[in-house]
A = this chain, B = another copy of it.
Amino acid sequence: MNYPRNAWYVASWSQDLGERKPMGVSILDEPIVIWRSDTCLTALEDRCVHRLAPLSMGRCEGDKLRCHYHGFLYNSDGAVVEIPGQQIVPRQARVRRYAVAERHSWIWVWMGDPGLADETLIPPAIGFDNPDWILGHGFLDYAAEAQLINDNLLDFSHLPYVHAASFKPPASFSESLPKLTATARGVRIERWTESGNAAFGEVRDAGDVYTGYDFLVPGILLMWNGRFPEGTAKAFDYGKPDYAQAVRDVTFTSQAVTPTGRRAARYFFSWGPHRAHGDEALRDVLMTIAGQAFSEDKTIIEAQQRIIDKTTSPKILPSGHDRAVTMFNNLVARMVREEAAAAMASQPNETPRREIA
């Protein structure tokens, strides 16, 4: 799977991880168990060293997790610290530990070497604990490659076709290209619509409308919308405005695409208004639209995946709207190459175990 390991992947919404209730997730097709105690948040390989049962079916004991097949007890480093009926625990009895963090209402897992995990690289999403925003949220499971969802999110020229019935963009939407800016770990994609043609929905007022988002590795979208006084677009040189100047319609959405398997992905999303520009009722309206629109994406992307699966050597023909897709995929490809080179340069560090007889 061509995804970088040195990146923070969203494993779950924070609130879906119970206290002392281990949760099994899959990221890059690797089974991972995550649990939270009073004092720690832990992510380990979800595979007991004994007979490969999932640890996520086990039970928490303080900071530790006991496998509920034959009772092996793991600490939060991934080391087995107790084997029932046996005095000695072999040193190689340990599973891989992943760096894990809770931030912006998401549980993030760093898939690379935990020693390289850098929490400053966690994308600056907005969580439910931020009092300025009123956000709804959800997730969808895709029978498709995560990359296809990333591609979709990096090129909004699909809006007039896929979302004609939900987002209802103006017919002219796909005729112009957004402004693109490469960033350290992604692409910034911005559109200013001057004199009142909103990118989404019907025109309600005069003014300049901004729609801008950062798309960041491994597949995180952070988008702001807002309506500003006429002239704002020009004043900010068609770049990111100062939200304090917005007159209405300020909303935020964060979205995360996690590759769970080879042809499987989980798509997390939130959306809602700034508290100065909307209320719970508006959030519910937006979530209803999102529910319809994201289902439209899922339908076309899963159909696209089925066609790709039937194609001997799938090739694409990029259009002018694919510039952001290409920029982002090139960035990902470079990260994957650099990680492969670094792995070649270092020693493998695998725990040796005995083969099944």
Question: Which of A150-169 touch B at CB < 8 Å?
Answer: 151, 155, 157-158, 160-162
Given contacts A162-B69, A300-B57, A315-B355, contact A320 B83 (CB under 8 A): yes
Could you say which of A46-54, A192-200, A236-244, A272-280 contacts chain B? A46-54
Does A333 have its Cβ within 8 Å of any Cβ on chain B?
yes
Given contacts A161-B69, A319-B83, contact A52 B354 (CB under 8 A): no
Given contacts A70-B155, A161-B71, A304-B69, contact A47 B317 (CB under 8 A): no
Shortest beta-carbon distance from A356 to chain B in Å: 5
Does A174 have its Cβ within 8 Å of any Cβ on chain B?
yes
Shortest beta-carbon distance from A199 to chain B in Å: 14
Does A92 have its Cβ within 8 Å of any Cβ on chain B?
yes
| B residues less than 8 Å from A151 (CB atoms) | 51
Q: Which residue of B has the minimal Cβ distance to A46?
A: B307
A158 CA to B51 CA in the complex, in Å? 12
Does A127 have its Cβ within 8 Å of any Cβ on chain B?
no
Number of interface residues of A (CB under 8 A): 65
Does A175 have its Cβ within 8 Å of any Cβ on chain B?
yes
Shortest beta-carbon distance from A310 to chain B in Å: 6
Does A303 have its Cβ within 8 Å of any Cβ on chain B?
yes
| B residues less than 8 Å from A316 (CB atoms) | 49-52, 353-356
| B residues less than 8 Å from A321 (CB atoms) | 70, 84-86
Contact B85 A29 (CB under 8 A): no
Contact A329 B307 (CB under 8 A): no
User: What would 15 more interface pairs be, CB under 8 Å, given A46-B307, A47-B311, A66-B161?
Assistant: A30-B310, A31-B310, A50-B316, A51-B316, A53-B303, A54-B303, A54-B306, A70-B158, A70-B161, A70-B319, A70-B321, A71-B157, A84-B175, A316-B354, A326-B357
